[in-house]
Amino acid sequence: MNTQSQDQSGERIAKYLARAGVASRREAERMIEQGIVTVDGVTLTTPAFKVTPEMDIRVDGTRIGKPDAPRLWRFHKPDGLVTTHKDPQGRATVFDALQGQLPRVISVGRLDLTTEGLLLLTNSGALSRRLELPSTGWTRRYRVRAYGRVKQSDLDTLKDGIEIEGVEYGPIRAQLDQTQGGNQWITMSINEGKNREIRNVCRHLGLQVNRLIRTAYGPFQLGKLNKGAFEEVPGKQLKEQLGRRICEEVGL
């Protein structure tokens, strides 16, 4: 497509698709590379192309309408579901479980197959990306059940961060809650959420995690939401929790 004669008004296609909840910006760029994104019948070759809602924008033949205002849902993810739209191994996904109950949504970060608890879902790729950034500074809180023995003094050593097998993990706040048979319950709070961070840190302390439940992501709480249930965060509350700067960034 000839971008030289293009009107410079509008919004970059990757950002537009992200706001429409089609995919994250990075995923949208990959779709363009695959040649499945068209504008007014012409296949796009660059994510820098700017579009307006009046254009005929399609992904793999499906027309994409004007992006809705960003929305956010709390979902109590059960274990046994993967947080991906398609799983190569054919396992059940979060989005299979929610099919037909929500508009097209993407997740804010991921939870492992066996991790339960709060998963935030949104129709906005821009909002998802913003909330995933470590610079947002939001705390992820978990309830951890682990087999083994550890003392509070051992957990206190995590407050300054720790390096395990060459991977540096940021400060972790950990509180020993109770002992139950051979297991101990611990509340752990992290700010980065690196891959399998809680499990790796616990293993380093000689603990084997056998249940992991995320109870909070920033200001959003799991609360009493039943397993497998979801609930939309009211628009007014969402704006209050995000703050003006983030709302302006994501078009809320």
- Residue positions annotated with a catalytic role: 112
* Phi and psi at residue 37, to the nearest 5°: -110, 125
Contact between 164 and 204 under an 8 Å Cβ cutoff? The reply is: yes
Distance, first Cα to last Cα, the chain: 31
**Residue 112: left (phi > 0), alpha (psi -120 to 50), or beta?**
beta
The SS3 call for residue 92 is coil
d(CA 83, CA 104): 14
Calculate the dihedral angle through the C-alpha atoms of 4, 6, 12, 14, rounding to the nearest 10 degrees. Answer: -80
d(CA 94, CA 73): 13
